[in-house]
Amino acid sequence: MTDEILRAASALLDTTLAEPTDLGGSPRSTVLRCTAGDGESVVVKAYRDEPEALRCFTAEAAGLALGAGAGPKLLAVDTDFPLLVMEDLGAAPSLADALLGDSADKAREALLAWARAYGRLAAESVGREEEFAALRSRYDRGEQQWDIDHWIHKAVDGLPAVLDSLGVAAPDGLMAEISPVIELTRFPVYSPGDICPDNNLLFPDRVRMLDFEGAEYHSVFVDAVYTRMPFSSCWCVFRLPQGIQASIEDTYRSEVVKGHAELLDDEVWREGMRLGMLAWTVDATTALTPRVIEEDRPLHRTRRPVPSLRQLLRYRWEILLSEVSGEVPELPAVAETMRRLLAATERWDVPSMPLYPAFLSTDLG
């Protein structure tokens, strides 16, 4: 297969690619660093010929083209193979490396750079939906079905069965309080999709983003809430000091309001962030709980340190409970559900979520 990829990519670039190094792809793709005829290296990413991989190929090609400069430069695309050739960004530490390291200052600066980069990309993308749709059509094999079984719909639909598996009775009115997340579409922005710490390389002048397989337009709050939870769908999850959490949220918001001025309204921002937290918490509950009913496991198969899945779930429930509870709870059924989930899983006997390793010696909040 490697030889076929090299031949196709070489023909596409009109040069000879050699010395392939496997960078580790996924079940959907093969990723190779290759040396071109001029001695420069490029990265070739080839996709499997099956529906999910083809959706990722189309999204990544269109996403890299739209978000030029945010990620690696898109050098060439072969829709028939399918594969794409990208600039080789080389070696650089990731945001995950900074957070799992031993310097609070470096981690804080990396977080602020990450928040600034995504806020700026989101703001600059406002109003470019038609351009992105045209790019997606250009690279689409015609076999994709977009926006089918959206993750929020699947999460909401699956919640009752998951609650039942834990012996948690849903309070009256729960689904009515949760249902607004299905309409989490206001203030659309472009996003690479997977904005987790390991997909962000830290260079002296900027953050460069990797993995555009999920590139799409979605509500700004789907990404913005990563600053508060933190990192809603990722494996690199620990607790942030409160002051730093507030700083990265403010940094992201200060950039994205340049594209959506309505987000300057504190009430609009608060409501959207709450919906985003609710959506991602329901998603984690639905997706992860069935995997740990019988036995806990690490959040990532190989990376260390990581929390366990049970730790993550309880952490998500605790954060959402603190967000929606109060003297006059705005979402009383959601708050009660979080209490019941935490009570039902006390028997898991897992430690509370610790700080990110970089902040362990300096709790700033």
* pLDDT level of residue 141 (50, 70, 90 thresholds): confident
106: domain CATH number is 3.90.1200
Q: Check whether residue 234 and residue 331 sit in a common domain.
A: yes
Asked if residue 365 is part of any domain, the answer here is: no
Q: What is the pLDDT of residues 1-26, one digit of tens each?
A: 888 999 899 999 989 999 988 887 78
Percent of the chain whose pLDDT exceeds 70:
96
First to last CA, the chain: 51
Whole-prediction pTM: 0.93
Asked if residue 319 is part of any domain, the answer here is: yes
Q: What is the pLDDT of residues 288-325, one digit of tens each?
A: 999 999 999 999 888 889 999 999 999 999 999 999 98
- What are the C-alpha distances in Å from 50 to residues 27, 278, 316? 11, 32, 34
- In this predicted structure, the answer to whether residue 185 has a pLDDT above a threshold of 60 is yes
Containing structural domain, residue 300: 95-359
Q: What is the pLDDT at residue 235?
A: 94
Percent of the chain whose pLDDT exceeds 90:
80
Q: Check whether residue 101 and residue 59 sit in a common domain.
A: no
What sections of the chain are H helices per DSSP?
Answer: 2-13, 51-66, 95-99, 104-125, 129-139, 151-165, 174-178, 220-224, 242-256, 266-292, 309-324, 332-344
32: domain CATH number is 3.30.200.20
The DSSP secondary-structure symbol of 22 reads E
Query: Which of 18, 365, 63 is CA-nearest to residue 211?
Result: 63
Residue in this structure with the two tokens 């990309």, named with its chain if needed: 121
Q: Check whether residue 127 and residue 204 sit in a common domain.
A: yes
How many whole angstroms separate alpha carbon 211 and alpha carbon 302?
Answer: 19
Q: What is the pLDDT of residues 226-261, one digit of tens each?
A: 999 999 999 999 999 989 999 999 999 999 999 999
Q: Check whether residue 187 and residue 311 sit in a common domain.
A: yes
Say which amino acid occupies 301. R
Q: How much is the average pLDDT of 50-65?
A: 93
